[in-house]
């Protein structure tokens, strides 16, 4: 149980284009979903927290107009990187809490974004 999927697993896009990443909880309903970014050999960095049906809460320094988060249901959240630039190239990982085990976060497999 507690499986989280992400799609796509990797994506290459050109500078200036937008990329959408989907995060789904497959076998549970998620109270909250989280989006992280991780650069090579660095620690996880929380970007934003989202709850179904409400606006995401962004961490300090994360541009909400650049990283659009939509949390349409208890099993789906999307992150759209708008007008991507090479410095946005990173490993983007989502996680979700289950309603039963609220503080345990289950991570998706991650999406590796490369902006050329």
Partner 1 sequence: QKEVEQNSGPLSVPEGAIASLNCTYSDRVSQSFFWYRQYSGKSPELIMSIYSNGDKEDGRFTAQLNKASQYVSLLIRDSQPSDSATYLCAVNYSGAGSYQLTFGKGTKLSVIP
Instruction: Give the interface with partner 1 as residue ranges (CB under 8 A).
Output: 31-32, 34, 43-44, 46, 49, 91, 93, 97, 101-110
Rounded Cα gap, residues 39 and 32, in angstroms? 23
- 16: tokens are 């200036």
For partner 1, the closer of residues 82 and 112 by Cβ is 112
Rounded least distance, CB 60 to partner 1, Å:
12
Q: ∠100-101-105 over CA atoms, to 5°? A: 130
Rounded Cα gap, residues 21 and 80, in angstroms? 6
Query: β-strand 4-7 against 19-25: which pairing, if any?
Result: antiparallel
For partner 1, the closer of residues 6 and 78 by Cβ is 6
Rounded least distance, CB 37 to partner 1, Å:
12
For partner 1, the closer of residues 44 and 82 by Cβ is 44
């Amino acid at each position: 149980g507690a499986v989280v999927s992400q799609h796509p697993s990797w994506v290459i896009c050109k500078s200036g284009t937008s990329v959408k990443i989907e995060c789904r909880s497959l076998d549970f309903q998620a109270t909250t979903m989280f989006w992280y970014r991780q650069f090579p050999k660095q620690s996880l960095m929380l970007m934003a927290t989202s709850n179904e049906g409400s606006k995401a809460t962004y961490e300090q320094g994360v541009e909400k107009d650049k990283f659009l988060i939509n949390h349409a249901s208890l099993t789906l959240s999307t992150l759209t990187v708008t007008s991507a630039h090479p410095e946005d190239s990173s490993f983007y990982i989502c996680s979700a809490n289950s309603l039963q085990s609220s503080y345990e976060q289950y991570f998706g497999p991650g999406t590796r974004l490369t902006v050329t």
